[in-house]
A and B are shown apart, each in its own frame.
Chain A
Amino acid sequence: MRQRDLIKRLVLGSGLALGLSATIQIHAADDTIKVGVLHSLSGTMAISETTLKDTVLMLVDEQNKKGGLLGKKLEAVVVDPASDWPLFAEKARGLLEKDKVAAVFGCWTSVSRKSVLPVFEELNGLLFYPVQYEGEESSKNVFYTGAAPNQQAIPAVDYLMNELGVKRWVLAGTDYVYPRTTNKILEAYLKQKGVSEKDIMINYTPFGHSDWQSIVSDIKKFGSAGKKTAVVSTINGDANVPFYKELGNQGVSAETIPVVAFSVGEEELSGIDTKPLVGHLAAWNYFMSVDTPENAAFIEQWHKFIKDPKRVTNDPMEAHKIGFDLWVKAVEKAGSTDTDKVVKAIVGLETPNLTGGIAKMLPNHHITKPVLIGEIQDDGQFAVVWQTEGTVPGDAWSDYLPGSKDLEGDWTDPINCGNYNTKTKTCLGAQAK
């Protein structure tokens, strides 16, 4: 009897909780502009993405302190797609259809972006995507505020080749689309620069690979052939810690075989003992160590918001900040949060980035970015050793891939096409129909 009562109460209680939560959702105020936050808070990607959720919350908070947008308060709607790709699409649809958000800031992995892309195109929503990625995409509804391959990979290889005299290349990556595409581009680029096939070693490993003994040993052997060797790493977040540990322990130092990484930033380093990594390189468009007043203010704001002076800032956070600023400016310019008006207004808008330059939204929905190369220091920060003179415009379609060298994205009149073939003067794919 008693057990049954308990069960009844349990069922009733949980039912009540569900009902309550439903009503909370319905009772959102109408005089706010909603901003969706679509970052994984659990599962494998939570390590990287929770920080970005907090960043957006901070930016929304800051904007509200400045009086909101168009006289309305901003309201962040946070959901957890739980590192589950179909769930990303479902949550995106929920944000756009049920919550009617004006813009969404979210996604990290390529697959999550690919998963939500059809949803954003169908419901004509806005997505700001803050992570460096493989390119080969330009959608009317997505703004790519992270680096395209020409804003990260190619300058990094140029640096290694020209400044360090690297002659032999290891392209090591996690087996997914970003490393595959980046390595394809780099391979084509290196061969064009006269590097022969046998001086390039390509290696792919699964996600979360943790036993690097054989691969590091292979790299060591490959690097002992008498020519200066470097590793270009597109190894994904989690697998980096054991990779660098193995490098350090097997005695591969940055002076013998430097590793330049595209996915290792301050946040990732904060989970590593950096002593054996000192001198290895990373290519990004932002480093926390960059000494500008804008950056100092941003770091201070972040520490105040997160209430932890030890937390670091990183490149995707800057990308979100730039994306958010540009969106706010575009909404103000358009006088509305309507997607079509914002898309029209945002191209050509400029906002200062945190490294002392200007980020400009280009017609292909990518932005201009400086490229910085940093060396890892023993405090987990990067010392900038090289940077481009000005900013580099993001190129959606790589010039080094046979399928895409003639393509271009342009979302302004009269072209209005994400994949416009400049040779045949036609818009390819679905948009052609």
Chain B
Amino acid sequence: MGIARAMRGDTGGQIMLAVLLAVTIVVPVLSLAVPESSPWHLSTYTVTLLGKYLCYALLAVAVDLVWGYLGILSLGHGAFFALGGYAMGMYLMRQIGDRGVYGDPILPDFMVFLNWKELPWFWHGFDLFWFAALMAILVPGVLAYVFGYLAFRSRVTGVYLSIITQALTYALMLAFFRNEMGFGGNNGLTDFKDLLGFDLQSDSTRAGLFIASAIALALGYVACRTIVTSRLGRVAVAIRDAESRTRFIGYRVERIKVAIFTFSAMLAGVAGALYVPQVGIVNPGEFSPLNSIEMVIWVAVGGRATLYGAVAGALMVNYGKSTFTAVFPDAWLFALGGLFVLVTLFLPRGIAGLLRLRRAG
């Protein structure tokens, strides 16, 4: 079977998928079935936090696919993530209906108080879940396709490519900050009520979203694994290591790059779409270039070119961030910054490298 072949020889990935499966079963049970008085009960705080981490992990897998296996250091993957998030956010906004503070059946609150008279054209259709879900994948995909097509055809590589991906997300951030754009400006989209008729504030919806994120991560992981173990994946690695040589052998390097880049962007869009209902807000800050740099750092901490390493890195850095900001609110940047420096100096292959080292020793 395809999955079995894709996962063969990927011990780390097998362990990760097994843990993910266990967590997907255990977390909802502990959250929903165990009474609150029990020490084993998981609070909604923990469930949403874990759900958020899973979305980040999926995003990290998407980044690692292009960086680890194709050699494209994208400093703009946050843009695809945010676009997926906005598509979902727009659906959730439309679901509020007349429950907004002004009771307007069509217009979201921010449009009412900024005196908009009617819904802008690009908001139409987002009242349908299938349309929004499609857009969450398509919009990042199309953007990545166009951007990749232009850039790879012109043979923009290395740092030049990294910096223009950064320019892309930066330009989008500034654009979404503009209130005239009709995406809620700096405040973004918030105050969501329900998703597909399920109340977003109920514990079971949260558990459901958590399970959905876990499934998305598992599927995304297996899909990426399938790509990297296929012939396409081997050519990708060849491109990463010697682009010109691969081109001279006769491969259409641009097409392969565009295809994988677009797929990765769609994956990021899915992660964003799952992220937004769990954190309850999407705003232009998600486009911030610093966020995109952070994503690269998750992958680097986890271990570049090992997909399970990307997952581990995303989980670890974010767990660290959550804990440090609560425990040492005044000094957590020292801890996080120090972690990055130490990892680069002492763990050049990231956590995955550490695990491999252990097994060897």
Digit string of B104-125 for contact with A (CB within 8 Å is 1, else 0)? 1000001011110000000000
Please judge, given known A-B contacts A80-B332, A429-B103, whether A176 and B43 are in contact too, CB under 8 Å.
no
Please judge, given known A-B contacts A111-B186, A403-B102, A428-B103, whether A184 and B115 are in contact too, CB under 8 Å.
yes
B193 within 8 A of A: yes
A403 engages B100 (CB within 8 Å): no
A181 engages B114 (CB within 8 Å): yes
Cβ-defined partner of A86 (8 Å) among B115, B187, B279: B279
CB neighbours (8 Å) of A403 from chain B are 102, 104, 112-113, 115
A4 engages B361 (CB within 8 Å): yes
B40 within 8 A of A: no
Measured between C-beta atoms, what is the minimum distance from B292 to chain A in Å? 14
CB neighbours (8 Å) of A223 from chain B are none
Cβ-defined partner of A98 (8 Å) among B43, B48, B101, B357: B43
User: In the complex the two chains form, what is the Cα distance from A80 to B326 in whole Å?
Assistant: 6
Please judge, given known A-B contacts A180-B179, A429-B101, whether A79 and B329 are in contact too, CB under 8 Å.
yes
A153 within 8 A of B: no
B280 engages A419 (CB within 8 Å): no
B220 within 8 A of A: no
A264 within 8 A of B: no
Please judge, given known A-B contacts A93-B44, A115-B281, A180-B185, whether A78 and B329 are in contact too, CB under 8 Å.
yes
CB neighbours (8 Å) of B325 from chain A are 79-82, 87, 91
Digit string of A21-37 for contact with B (CB within 8 Å is 1, else 0)? 11011000000000000
A180 engages B114 (CB within 8 Å): yes
B190 within 8 A of A: yes
CB neighbours (8 Å) of B201 from chain A are 118, 122
By beta carbon, the residue of chain A nearest B361 is: A4
B342 engages A97 (CB within 8 Å): no
Measured between C-beta atoms, what is the minimum distance from A51 to chain B in Å? 14
Measured between C-beta atoms, what is the minimum distance from A99 to chain B in Å? 9
A118 engages B190 (CB within 8 Å): yes
A10 within 8 A of B: yes
A238 within 8 A of B: no
Chain A: interface secondary structure? helix
A58 within 8 A of B: no
User: In the complex the two chains form, what is the Cα distance from A89 to B191 in whole Å?
Assistant: 11
User: In the complex the two chains form, what is the Cα distance from A411 to B285 in whole Å?
Assistant: 33
CB interface residues, B 43-98, toward A, < 8 Å: 43-45, 48-49, 52, 98
A7 engages B280 (CB within 8 Å): no
User: In the complex the two chains form, what is the Cα distance from A119 to B179 in whole Å?
Assistant: 25
Cβ-defined partner of A177 (8 Å) among B104, B110, B178, B347: B110
Digit string of B281-317 for contact with A (CB within 8 Å is 1, else 0)? 1010100000000000000000000000000000000
Digit string of B234-252 for contact with A (CB within 8 Å is 1, else 0)? 0000000000000000000
A89 engages B280 (CB within 8 Å): yes
Please judge, given known A-B contacts A89-B280, A122-B201, A176-B177, whether A42 and B333 are in contact too, CB under 8 Å.
yes
Cβ-defined partner of B347 (8 Å) among A7, A42, A84, A110: A7
B229 within 8 A of A: no
CB neighbours (8 Å) of A385 from chain B are none
User: In the complex the two chains form, what is the Cα distance from A7 to B330 in whole Å?
Assistant: 26
A115 engages B190 (CB within 8 Å): yes
A343 within 8 A of B: no
Measured between C-beta atoms, what is the minimum distance from A21 to chain B in Å? 4
Please judge, given known A-B contacts A118-B201, A432-B103, whether A206 and B174 are in contact too, CB under 8 Å.
yes
Cβ-defined partner of B44 (8 Å) among A97, A176, A429, A433: A97
CB neighbours (8 Å) of B255 from chain A are none
A85 engages B99 (CB within 8 Å): no
By beta carbon, the residue of chain A nearest B342 is: A10
A175 engages B326 (CB within 8 Å): no
Digit string of A410-433 for contact with B (CB within 8 Å is 1, else 0)? 000000001101000000111011
User: In the complex the two chains form, what is the Cα distance from A84 to B52 in whole Å?
Assistant: 14
A290 within 8 A of B: no
CB neighbours (8 Å) of B285 from chain A are 84-85
By beta carbon, the residue of chain A nearest B102 is: A403
B114 engages A25 (CB within 8 Å): no
Digit string of A122-145 for contact with B (CB within 8 Å is 1, else 0)? 100000000000001100000000
Measured between C-beta atoms, what is the minimum distance from B330 to chain A in Å? 6
CB interface residues, B 323-343, toward A, < 8 Å: 323, 325-327, 329-330, 332-333, 342
Measured between C-beta atoms, what is the minimum distance from A83 to chain B in Å? 9
Please judge, given known A-B contacts A430-B193, A433-B99, whether A21 and B327 are in contact too, CB under 8 Å.
yes
CB neighbours (8 Å) of A122 from chain B are 201
CB interface residues, A 358-404, toward B, < 8 Å: 401-404
Measured between C-beta atoms, what is the minimum distance from B43 to chain A in Å? 5
B347 engages A184 (CB within 8 Å): no
B188 within 8 A of A: yes
Cβ-defined partner of B49 (8 Å) among A10, A21, A90, A407: A90
CB neighbours (8 Å) of B191 from chain A are 114, 117-118
Cβ-defined partner of A41 (8 Å) among B98, B103, B329, B361: B329
Measured between C-beta atoms, what is the minimum distance from A54 to chain B in Å? 11
A93 engages B45 (CB within 8 Å): yes
Most buried by B among A87, A114, A122: A114
CB interface residues, B 163-202, toward A, < 8 Å: 174, 177-179, 185-188, 190-193, 201
By beta carbon, the residue of chain B nearest A50 is: B330
A97 engages B45 (CB within 8 Å): yes
User: In the complex the two chains form, what is the Cα distance from A41 to B334 in whole Å?
Assistant: 13
Most buried by B among A7, A111, A137, A418: A111
CB neighbours (8 Å) of B283 from chain A are 85, 111, 115
B185 engages A176 (CB within 8 Å): yes
Please judge, given known A-B contacts A4-B361, A175-B178, whether A114 and B187 are in contact too, CB under 8 Å.
yes
B327 engages A25 (CB within 8 Å): yes
CB neighbours (8 Å) of B185 from chain A are 175-177, 180
CB interface residues, A 1-60, toward B, < 8 Å: 3-4, 6-7, 10-11, 18, 21-22, 24-25, 41-42
By beta carbon, the residue of chain A nearest B199 is: A122
B157 within 8 A of A: no
User: In the complex the two chains form, what is the Cα distance from A206 to B170 in whole Å?
Assistant: 12
Pull 16 A–B residue pairs with CB atoms less than 8 Å apart, ordered by A: A3-B346, A25-B327, A41-B330, A42-B332, A85-B188, A85-B281, A115-B190, A117-B191, A118-B280, A176-B179, A204-B179, A207-B186, A402-B115, A403-B112, A404-B113, A419-B103
Identify 4 new A-B residue pairs, CB closer than 8 A, beyond the known A137-B101, A177-B179, A177-B187.
A89-B281, A90-B322, A184-B113, A429-B100
Residues of B at the A interface (CB closer than 8 Å) are 43-45, 48-49, 52, 98-104, 110, 112-115, 174, 177-179, 185-188, 190-193, 201, 279-281, 283, 285, 322-323, 325-327, 329-330, 332-333, 342, 346-347, 354, 357, 361
